[in-house]
Amino acid sequence: MATIVKKRLRKTDIEKRMTIPSKSLNCFPALSGSEHMVDFDVRDECGRVWKFRIYTRKSSNKYRKPVLTKGWREFVCRKELSIDDKVAFYMDKQQADGSVEYRVTVQKAVKVFGAVFAHKPFPGEASNDIV
C-alpha cells in the first residue's frame, strides 16, 4: 500500500475542504480531458466506503491547487475530526481488472491541557511522534 498524502488538518480542512499537494494529484484518479474534477471511492479503516471529489482549477491554469470537496465535510463530521488531527490517503496496488483501491486512515491528536502532545500512530507505524 503506497502512501499518497499524510496531512495534519488545519481550520480550512475542517470547515470547508481539504487541500492536497499538487504533486500527489497524479496518484488519485485521472482527470479526463478538459474536466477539472473527478469522483472516487475511499475505504476507511472500518471498511466503510466514502465518496470524495477532487476538484482543481481549470487545466489551463498552471497552479491547479487540488482539493477534496464533495463528501469531505461528511467524513470530517462523522469521524469527529478537529484541527491537528491527521489523515493519510493510501493507494493499493492495481487490481486484476486495472482498478485501484484507495484507503484513508485517521490519527486523532492527543491533547493535554489544550496542547497537542502526540498522535495515535497510523496503521503500520511503530511509535508516536511528539509534536
pLDDT in tens, 95-113: 667 778 899 999 988 776 6
83 assigned to some structural domain: yes
Domain assignment of residue 129, yes or no: no
CA distance 21 to 62: 14
> What's the domain count of the chain?
1
Query: Is 53 among the domain residues?
Result: yes
- Domain annotation covers residue 79: yes
Question: What is the structure's pLDDT at 121?
Answer: 62
pLDDT, tens digit, for every residue of 60-95? Answer: 556 678 889 899 999 999 999 999 999 999 988 666
Answer yes or no: is 124 within a domain.
Answer: no
Would you say residue 130 lies in a domain? no
Residue 79 structural domain:
1-117
The answer to the question of residue 57 being in a domain is yes
In angstroms, the Cα distances linking 104 to 30, 36, 114, 121 are 18, 22, 26, 13
Q: What is the pLDDT of residues 21-61, one digit of tens each?
A: 888 888 888 776 667 888 899 999 999 999 999 988 765 55
pLDDT value, residue 100: 84
Q: Would 56 be classed as within a structural domain?
A: yes
CATH code for position 30: 2.40.330.10
